[in-house]
Amino acid sequence: MKPTKNQIFCVACGRPKMLFKTKAKADNFIKFNCSEMMEESGKAPIRSYYCEICGCYHVTSNNSKSHAEWLDIRDKVLAEEVDRRVKANLKPESNQKQTNQEPKSKGAKENKLNIREQLEQSDILMTKGMLDEAEELLAKCRFRLQAVEQRMNMAKLEGFIRCKDQMERLMRKLEKLKKWVESSYDEQEAFIAKEGKKEEEEEVCTALVSIKAVVRIKRALYDIDKVIENREYSILKYYVAQCQKQIGSIRGPGRSEIAQYWNQELINAQERAKEARRYRVSL
């Protein structure tokens, strides 16, 4: 029999859900009730999860790991939005009056700028090859845009539309980039050499070139450390030159910041080599 006790309306799910204080209790519920619920309705919970909004554990019949991760991001954003609203209501009266006197467009502008910066950061993460981090940040931006839209009724504002368009463009870019990163070396090289690419294809290609460059930089730095370890200093210049070449090939959003980071890593590696040679001579 499907349980009806111990239920609470979950804002994240938009429907009543069972509440458990610990994961152990939720898992025990599944263990002792799963078979009966499956016989009765053909559907039963198979795993437990922590809900950021309710502050407790629920059970679900959904076994998709990727969907669960997506829901976790949604719940975190919803929890942050709840906290924001609670803090806004707890402001001193004088601050509330001052806030009420400000035009709504200023508050909307601040939210859009914050989201826009996050969208720009997700684009930089793609250049770095940090695709999982970029995907998570884009998911958060998506939910925050939805929250801002509902709170301020700004669906028709030009700035808001630009943010949504940018987010959708970046999500398309990420999807295509993940496909190319998982493809073979020959397929990647053929795509990079392809002529007459469209604008969105060029953006994906630029990011792919940078990701490949970062992989080669890491490999060159690893080889430099092996040179130091094996004291094969005669080939040190080759790997340094390879590293410099790849740093110079980085393109796309955040390229200056990324190149600066890897240049410093190369300098550090060269300093380690100098110190190792100095130590060897002193012996």
Answer yes or no: are the C-beta atoms of 60 and 45 closer than 8 Å.
yes
Percent of the chain that is helix, strand, coil (3-state, to 5): 75, 5, 20
* pLDDT for res 122: 92
DSSP 8-state secondary structure symbol assigned to residue 250: -
Of 272, 265, 260, 280, residue with least CA distance to 226 = 272
DSSP 8-state secondary structure symbol assigned to residue 59: E
DSSP bridge pairs for 59: 48
* pLDDT for res 49: 82
* pLDDT for res 18: 83
For residues 113 and 122, what is the distance between their CA atoms, to the nearest angstrom?
14
For residues 218 and 220, what is the distance between their CA atoms, to the nearest angstrom?
5
* pLDDT for res 69: 66
* pLDDT for res 113: 40
For the chain, percent of residues with pLDDT exceeding 90: 38
Dihedral class, residue 19 (left if φ above 0, else alpha if ψ from -120 to 50, else beta): beta
CA-to-CA separations, 71 to 3, 47, 84, 147, 233, in angstroms, rounded = 24, 14, 20, 15, 52
Q: Is the pLDDT of residue 202 over 70?
A: yes
DSSP bridge pairs for 58: 49
For residues 253 and 240, what is the distance between their CA atoms, to the nearest angstrom?
25
Q: Is the pLDDT of residue 6 over 50?
A: yes
For residues 99 and 103, what is the distance between their CA atoms, to the nearest angstrom?
8
Which range, 79-83, 142-146, 196-200, has the best average confidence (pLDDT)?
Answer: 196-200
Residue range 17-72, pLDDT digits in tens:
888 888 898 888 888 888 888 877 777 888 888 876 667 888 888 776 666 666 66
R_g of the chain computed on alpha carbons: 26
Q: Is the pLDDT of residue 144 over 60?
A: yes
* pLDDT for res 213: 95
Residue range 70-106, pLDDT digits in tens:
666 666 666 666 566 555 555 444 444 444 444 444 4
* pLDDT for res 204: 95
Pair of tokens at residue 13: 């799910």
Residue range 210-245, pLDDT digits in tens:
999 999 999 999 999 999 988 888 899 999 999 999
Q: Which residues contact 87 (CB under 8 A, 6 or more apart)?
A: none
Q: What is the pTM of this model?
A: 0.61
- What element of type H or E holds 282? helix 255-282
For residues 96 and 89, what is the distance between their CA atoms, to the nearest angstrom?
8
* pLDDT for res 143: 77
